[in-house]
């Protein structure tokens, strides 16, 4: 069981993540969109969406830093354990709170506004539930364990196990000793990745950074062969007379 | 010089009776789908009025179009590239659906299934197409038709706000007595499109062959910047698919040499379609001229004279077939815009170089002449009225010449002179040379202009060459490879494809079956694969 959860499951999820994206990209360009509903409702979105998205960017950055950068590296470049901890906990708490506030506003918006509720798909509901669960577990880990509780040094266990996945040497023992909330957050994270390609989250990969340097007006040549000209009404009329 | 052809339109507003046939046939053709209930690629507004969506001309509020920055460089009014990306999460300039209107539908079963012998007439209640809930109808795309509710709303017309205060006050003072005309609007297919320039994904583009501006539905990611950047508000969000949609200038018809559906069905026969040659390299400079009053002349200067041998040579060198050169010479649009100079662009001050132009309506002026107790058949009286009765002219100037009253008055005088000239010619058999001198046109020109504006037939109003393929050599190779069928081979230009809602991307060889698509389907590039969602429409 330990092996399955901490070794097989991550690889399964990553495989679905990659294959799912390839499949979606090749088959569903038309569905690859943010699915904006701003025209339907703007008051809650105006507050919720920037809070959520900026929070997500901060949280994602925090995860990259915490999981991918080994503790030995931060120490070597002169960041003390205490300084790291303060940055991680307070950065995580602030961006996490932004994310949670934004997410709550967006979920409220989906529920109370009939127009937005009508365009909410089943997959959107699954996605919102998954996001809420991940945010809740993450906030418990950051605020509950590290800010208010005794703290837990995930950099020695969770992060090492996570990096091991990419060297094809994940050590399940590192995870089996971690607190339950970290275990759940890690499993949930991988399941979330597996869900990703089938939701509207794919719009993340279309962040339009190329807009910064492309020319303003885009010209394209018409694709495909020219259609055959059709007869004008007077030609039809004249043909009928003959 | 980089020569391009543009399919452009001119509308003669004097002939518009506001029947909305163009809007209805357009809607039946393009926007009778989920998510586009509120979308009118073509709409007809009553002016003065606030328009559709509400107050769309108020760019202080919507920040649509272009403006010059302090250094005189052209930039999008809503800000530069970095600012735009910073607003991806929420676009502060986006109109809400309430700025258009809440679309409604009716449960007709209530009428159909009403039992016999009812004392009261059964009534169907409007229901919101967005929520399904009962609703009250409070606004629509042509709510202000023929100045309906003008005493309440039309004072909010952004064009009145820009007019000189005393003239605007007089318009507001006697609303129903002043003037009224209809303004049909489609996408302008601009030479310098703000929507294309604002699209972060690069999904919007202008076609090189005919200048039609389109949204690539496969690459639109729903960032909704085009909607707010378009100063005419002619790009819409389909709230069902989450993608932008806009007027396509009926490109499948144009490619086949047919007029757009709005033109085809226009009862007043007021629309003209034709191609105009222009110099793509001159566009930016023309859109950047400092004085707004110079924009009209600057845009006219971007167009190339199709009778000029040098231009014809350049067109041939650019790969255009002779048919296109001939069509450009016969183009009614070119004649109205550049030869007779009676067509004007809508709001040139947005600096997008729009390509749907308008012959301004003389009727409000003629009404004013009559009201002033003058003779509306006498050119002199009309000239004086145009000068003295400032209201209609100053209002039209806000619409068509960025407030340049002289330019608008000049066009109106041409139209009035043509009217009087033809009157003298037909009723008295005399040639009014003094009128010709006044407007600097020859008798032949005035009579040709009269013919084009008043009685032109179908093939004079619509001069549309069928689409050509730039890669003619490839076509020939295809023809020799399939000797049996020449151009009618699979995928060949003689092959016409049937498209329908069931097959968004139809590839040759696909069969269109209504109902549920199969497990496997064919993608746009011809490869076969799983259907993304067999329960919904095609992949």
pLDDT per residue as tens, chain B (539 positions): 899 999 999 999 999 999 999 999 999 999 999 899 999 999 999 998 999 999 999 999 999 999 999 999 999 999 999 999 999 999 999 999 999 999 999 988 888 888 988 898 888 889 999 998 999 999 999 998 988 887 788 788 898 888 888 887 777 666 666 788 999 999 999 999 999 999 999 999 999 999 999 999 999 999 999 999 999 999 999 999 999 999 999 999 999 899 999 999 999 999 999 999 999 999 999 999 999 999 999 999 999 999 999 999 999 999 999 999 999 999 999 999 999 999 999 999 999 999 999 999 998 888 878 877 888 778 888 888 887 777 788 899 999 999 999 999 999 999 999 999 999 999 988 888 888 988 999 999 999 999 999 999 999 999 999 888 765 545 555 555 544 444 444 444 444 444 433 334 545 555 544 444 556 666 556 666 666 554 444 33
Q: At what angle do helices A9-27 and A158-166 cross, to 10 degrees?
A: 60
B81 touches chain A (CB under 8 A): yes
Q: What single-letter DSSP state applies at residue A221?
A: P
Residue B471: predicted pLDDT? 56
**Pick from A24, A115, A209: CB nearest B131:** A115
Strand pairing report for A219-220 and B3-12: unpaired
Distances (CA, A) of B532 to A27, B243, B520, B522, B537: 6, 18, 9, 11, 9
Q: Do B201 and A208 touch (CB under 8 A)?
A: yes
What does the alpha-carbon distance between residue B422 and residue B431 come to, in Å, rounded to a whole number? 9
**Which of A42, A47, A120, A228 is the mutation pick for testing B, counting most B CBs within 10 A?**
A228
Of A39, A227, A232, the CB nearest to B97: A39
The nearest CA of chain B is from the CA of A186 a distance in Å of 28
**A222 contacts B208? CB cut-off 8 A:** yes
The predicted structure's pLDDT at residue A159: 94
Smallest CA–CA distance from A113 into chain B, residue: B131
Q: Count the neighbouring beta carbons within 10 Å of the beta carbon of residue A116.
A: 22
| Per-residue pLDDT tens over the stretch A128-155 | 999 999 999 999 999 888 888 888 889 8
Residue-level pLDDT at A16: 98
* Structural class in CATH, domain B13-102+139-256: alpha beta
Q: Where are the domains of chain B?
A: 13-102+139-256, 499-539
CB of A211 within 8 Å of a chain B CB? The answer is yes
Give the list of residues 6+ apart from residue B505 with CB closer than 8 angstroms, or none: A30, B218, B523, B524, B538, B539
DSSP notation for B482-521: TTTTGGGSTTSTTPPPP-BTTBSS--TT----SSS--SEE
Predicted confidence (pLDDT) per residue in A105-119, tens digit: 999 999 999 999 999
Helices in B81-203 by DSSP H: which ranges? 81-86, 97-100, 109-112, 150-153, 158-162, 165-173, 175-178, 194-198
What span, in angstroms and rounded, lies between the C-alpha atoms of A51 and B89?
9
pLDDT, residue A52, reads 98
Query: pLDDT by residue (tens digit) across A224-237?
Result: 776 666 676 777 77
pLDDT of residue A228: 66
Which residues on adjacent β-strands are paired with residue B357?
Answer: B10, B345
What's the distance, Cα to Cα, between the start and end of chain B in Å?
A: 43
List CB contacts (< 8 A) between B205 and chain A.
218-220
Q: Choose among A29, A52, A220: nearest Cβ to B208.
A: A220
Rounded distance between C-alpha atoms, residue B420 and residue B417, angstroms: 5
Query: Domain spans of chain A?
Result: 2-241
Closest Cα partner for B264 from B18, B24, B450?
B24
* Contact list, A50 vs chain B (CB under 8 Å): 89-90
* Residues of chain A found within 8 Å of residue B497, distances taken between Cβ atoms: 227
- Would you call A221 an interface residue with chain B, using a CB distance cutoff of 8 Å? yes
H/E stretch holding B455 reads none
Give the pLDDT score at B501: 39
pLDDT attached to residue B533:
52
B243–A contact, CB cutoff 8 A: yes
Give the gap in angstroms from C-alpha B107 to the nearest C-alpha of chain A: 19
Mean per-residue pLDDT, A162-178:
93
Q: Do B256 and A229 touch (CB under 8 A)?
A: yes
Q: Is the model's pLDDT at A47 over the cut of 60?
A: yes
- pLDDT the model gives residue B491: 42
The residue in chain A having the minimum alpha-carbon distance to the alpha carbon of residue B283 is A217
Nearest to B363 by CA among B306, B412, B427, B304: B412
| Interface contact A199, partner B, CB < 8 A | no
Of B256, B469, B487, the CB nearest to A230: B256
Question: What pTM value is reported for the model?
Answer: 0.87
Note the CATH number of domain A2-241: 1.20.950.20
Confidence check: pLDDT of A223 > 60: yes
Distance CA A61, CA A55 (A): 10
DSSP-H helix ranges across chain A: 2-3, 9-27, 43-68, 71-76, 81-112, 114-118, 122-139, 158-166, 172-176, 180-195, 233-241
Of B204, B223, B240, the CB nearest to A34: B223
- What pLDDT, on a 0 to 100 scale, did the predictor assign at position A214? 93
What's the gap in Å between the CA of A219 and the closest CA on chain B? 5
- Chain B hits for A219, Cβ within 8 Å: 205-208
* Least Cα separation, residue A90 to chain B (angstroms): 24
Residues 73-112 of A with CB under 8 A from B: none
Strand arrangement of the beta sheet that strand B271-279 belongs to = B303-304, B271-279, B3-12, B356-359, B344-345
CB of B507 within 8 Å of any CB in chain A? no
Chain B, window 173-202: residues with a beta carbon less than 8 angstroms from a chain A beta carbon: 192-193, 196-197, 199-202
Task: Report yes or no: A43 at the B interface, CB cutoff 8 Å.
Answer: no
- Tokens 């039809």, located at residue: A236
Residues 6 or more apart whose Cβ sits within 8 Å of residue B163: B171, B394, B395, B398, B403
Q: Which of B209, B237, B258 sits opposite A222 (nearest CB)?
A: B209
Closest Cβ–Cβ partner in B84, B255, B459 for A234 = B459
Facing A221 at nearest CB: one of B85, B200, B470: B470
Contact with chain B for residue A205, Cβ under 8 A: no
Q: Which of A217, A219, A232 to probe by mutation at the B interface, max B CB count within 10 Å?
A: A217
């Amino acid at each position: 069981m330990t092996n399955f959860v901490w070794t097989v499951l991550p690889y399964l999820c990553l495989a679905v993540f990659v294959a799912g994206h390839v499949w979606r990209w090749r088959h569903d360009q038309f569905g690859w969109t943010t699915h904006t509903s701003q025209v339907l409702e703007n008051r809650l979105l105006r507050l919720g969406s920037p809070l959520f998205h900026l929070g997500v960017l901060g949280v994602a950055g925090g995860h990259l830093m915490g999981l991918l950068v080994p503790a030995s590296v931060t120490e070597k470049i002169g960041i003390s354990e205490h300084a790291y901890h303060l940055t991680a906990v307070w950065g995580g708490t602030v961006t996490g709170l932004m994310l949670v506030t934004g997410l709550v506003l967006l979920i409220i918006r989906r529920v109370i506004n009939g127009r937005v509720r009508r365009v909410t798909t089943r997959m959107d509901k699954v996605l919102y539930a998954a996001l809420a669960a991940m945010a809740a577990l993450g906030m418990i880990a950051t605020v509950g364990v590290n800010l208010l509780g005794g703290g837990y040094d995930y950099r020695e266990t969770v992060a090492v196990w996570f990096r091991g996945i990419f060297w094809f040497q994940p050590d399940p023992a590192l995870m089996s000793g971690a607190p339950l909330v970290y275990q759940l957050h890690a499993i949930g994270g991988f399941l979330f990745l597996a869900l990703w390609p089938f939701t509207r989250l794919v719009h993340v990969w279309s962040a339009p950074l190329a807009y910064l340097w492309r020319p303003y007006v885009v010209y394209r040549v018409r694709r495909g062969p020219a259609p055959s000209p059709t007869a004008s009404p007077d030609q039809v009329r004249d043909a009928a007379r003959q | 010089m980089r020569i391009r052809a543009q399919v452009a339109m001119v509308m003669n507003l004097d002939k518009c009776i506001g029947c909305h046939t163009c809007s209805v046939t357009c809607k039946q053709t393009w926007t009778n789908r989920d998510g586009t209930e509120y979308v009118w690629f073509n709409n007809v507004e009553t002016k003065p009025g606030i328009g559709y969506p509400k107050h769309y001309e108020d760019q202080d509020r919507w920040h649509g179009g272009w403006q010059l920055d302090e250094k005189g460089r052209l930039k999008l009014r809503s800000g530069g590239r970095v600012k735009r990306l910073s607003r991806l999460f929420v676009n502060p300039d986006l109109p809400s659906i309430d700025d258009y209107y809440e679309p409604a539908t009716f449960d007709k079963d209530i009428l159909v299934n009403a039992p016999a012998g009812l004392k009261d007439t059964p009534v169907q209640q409007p229901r919101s197409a967005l929520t399904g809930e009962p609703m009250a109808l409070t606004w629509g795309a042509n709510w202000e038709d023929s100045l309906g509710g003008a005493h309440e709303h039309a004072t909010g017309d952004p064009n009145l706000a820009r007019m000189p205060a005393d003239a605007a006050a007089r318009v507001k003072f006697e609303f129903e007595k002043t003037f009224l005309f209809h303004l049909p609007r489609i996408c302008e297919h601009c030479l310098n499109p703000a929507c294309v320039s604002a699209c972060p994904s690069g999904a919007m583009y202008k076609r090189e062959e005919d200048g039609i501006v389109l949204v690539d539905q496969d690459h639109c990611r729903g960032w909704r910047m085009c909607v707010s950047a378009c100063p005419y508000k002619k790009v819409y969000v389909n709230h069902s698919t989450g993608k932008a949609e806009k007027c396509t200038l009926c490109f499948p018809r144009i490619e086949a040499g047919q007029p757009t559906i709005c033109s085809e069905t226009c009862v007043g026969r007021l629309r003209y379609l034709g191609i105009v040659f222009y110099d793509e390299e001159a566009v930016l400079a023309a859109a950047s001229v400092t004085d707004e009053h110079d924009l009209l002349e600057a845009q006219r200067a971007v167009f190339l004279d199709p009778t000029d041998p040098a231009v014809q040579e350049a067109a041939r060198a650019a790969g255009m077939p002779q048919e296109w050169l001939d069509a450009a010479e016969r183009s009614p649009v070119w004649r109205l815009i550049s030869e007779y100079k009676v067509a004007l662009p809508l709001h040139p001050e947005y600096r997008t170089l729009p390509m749907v132009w308008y012959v301004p309506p003389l009727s409000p002026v003629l009404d004013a002449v009559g009201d002033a107790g003058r003779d509306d058949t006498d050119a002199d009286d009309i000239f004086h009225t145009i000068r003295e009765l400032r209201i209609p002219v100053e209002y039209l100037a806000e619409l068509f010449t960025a407030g340049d009253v002289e330019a608008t008055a000049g066009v109106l005088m041409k139209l009035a002179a043509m009217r009087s000239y033809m009157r003298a010619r037909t009723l008295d058999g005399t040639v009014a040379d003094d009128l010709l001198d006044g407007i600097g046109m020859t008798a032949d020109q005035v009579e040709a202009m009269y013919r084009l504006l008043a009685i032109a037939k179908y093939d004079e109003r619509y001069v549309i060459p069928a689409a050509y393929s730039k890669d003619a050599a490839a076509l020939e190779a295809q023809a020799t490879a399939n000797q049996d069928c020449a151009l009618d081979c699979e995928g060949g230009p003689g092959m016409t494809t049937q498209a329908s809602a069931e097959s968004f991307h139809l590839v040759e060889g696909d069969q269109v079956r209504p109902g549920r698509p199969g497990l496997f389907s064919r993608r746009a590039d011809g490869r076969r694969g799983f259907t993304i969602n067999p329960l919904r429409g095609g992949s």
